[in-house]
Amino acid sequence: METRIRDSFARQGLMDTLGARIDEIAEGRVTLSAPITAAASQQHGYAHAGLTFALGDSAAGYSALTTMPDGAEVLTAEMKINLLAPADGTRLIATGEVVKPGRRLVVTRATVETEYADGTRRAVAILQGTMVPITG
C-alpha cells in the first residue's frame, strides 16, 4: 500500500512544484507537508489558500486510497474547506482521514496545521469531502 501511494504521489507534478512530501501513511490516514515559501504565497506572504487546499485535498485522497484494493485510484468528487487562521508559519502539515469507506464513494476529512519556526503548531483549515474510486 505504501509503495502504491508513494508512486502515485511522485507522479503528481503539483506536489513536486510545491515541495510537498509524505510524512506518514497508515490505514485510513495520511499526513503530507510542504514548506510555506514565496512561491506558494498569497498577497500577504502567508500560504495561499490554494496550497492549503491542495495539501489537505491530497492528504484526504491518499487516506481514501489506503482503503482500496491494488490498482485502484481515487479522484476528488467534491471538497469543502473552512479556513481558520492565516497560514503564517514556515510549514503546512495536512492530515487526511477516512470517515466512511465505500466502493462507490469515500467520505474523508482533513486538517491542515501551520508549523512555526519554534515547532509549535496551529490549525489553519479543515476540509470535508468525497473521493470516488476509479478502477482501471
Cα–Cα distance for residue pair 78/114, rounded to 1 Å: 24
Q: Does 80 bind its own copies (CB under 8 A)?
A: yes
Helix axes 2-10, 49-65, angle to 10 degrees: 150
Query: Least distance (Å) from its own copies to the CB of residue 111?
Result: 9
Piece in contact with its own copies (CB under 8 A), picked from 22-30, 88-96, 113-121, 122-130: 122-130
Cell of 65: 486510497
Q: Does 50 bind its own copies (CB under 8 A)?
A: yes
Q: Does 128 bind its own copies (CB under 8 A)?
A: yes
Residue type for 29, please? Answer: R
User: Do 94 and 56 touch, CB atoms closer than 8 A?
Assistant: yes
Degrees (nearest 5) of the Cα angle 12, 16, 22?
80
What backbone phi and psi angles, to 5 degrees, belong to 14?
-65, -40
Given 28, 81, 90, 115, the residue binding its own copies (CB under 8 A) = 81
Given 28, 29, 35, 48, the residue binding its own copies (CB under 8 A) = 48
Q: Does 107 bind its own copies (CB under 8 A)?
A: yes
For its own copies, the binding residues (CB under 8 A) are 8-9, 11-18, 37-44, 48-51, 53-55, 57-58, 73, 75-86, 99-100, 104-105, 107, 109, 123, 126, 128-130, 132
